[in-house]
Amino acid sequence: MREPEGVLDARYSSPGTRAHDWSEAEKLLTGAELFWLSTVRPDGRPHVTPLLAVWHDGALHFSTGPGERKERNLDGNPHVVLTTGTNSWAQGYDLTVEGAAVRVTDDGRLRELAAAWEAKYGPVWHYEVADGHFHHGPGRALVFAVRPRKVLGFGKGEPFSQTKWTWEDRTDRADQ
């Protein structure tokens, strides 16, 4: 997979600033603990919820219980935005990741993701894998992958910046 080139939007950036490299954004996605997932309800209203996510093999991965609002929304519209960053306007860096959420059902891939979840979040987030699901205690979870089509990065504080990365050749289908 080619690494996208960042394009600076000068309208929202301090004079003399530069576009950030994709490797910087990827490092932030890897380290971020909390993300906000935006989906669309069947009637067109937005739905936003916080969740944990893991950046692995060029995609953000999240999980949800069967029948939860976000899972029901994804049944009708797989297009999502995942957001992470800080709650400060004058410092830090925010990222928004746009793409299609595609269910991961392969048990081998799910085992890789379960190991990545536990490595990132600790043993409280240990999952067993069976029948295309994460299992945690008596519950089970569906896992989704979002391969970015567009990512926006917002540098806050001097210098302010807005960088855009796009994957024009990417389809809306993640590898399962």
Give residue limits of the domains in the chain: 7-166
Which pLDDT value is given to residue 171?
Answer: 57
Average pLDDT, the chain: 94
Which DSSP letter does residue 59 get? E
Which pLDDT value is given to residue 176?
Answer: 34
pTM: 0.93
Name which residue leads in pLDDT, 173 or 2: 2
Coil, helix or strand at residue 168: coil
115-153 core/surface letters (b: 16 or more CB in 10 A; e: else)? ebbeebeeeebebebeebbbebeeebbbbbbbbbbbbbb
In the structure, what pLDDT confidence band is assigned to residue 3 with cuts at 50, 70 and 90? confident
Q: Thinking of the domain 7-166, which architecture would CATH place it in?
A: Roll (2.30)
Calpha distance 84→80 (Å, rounded): 13
- Burial of residue 107 (number of CB atoms within 10 Å: 0-12, 13-18, 19+): middle
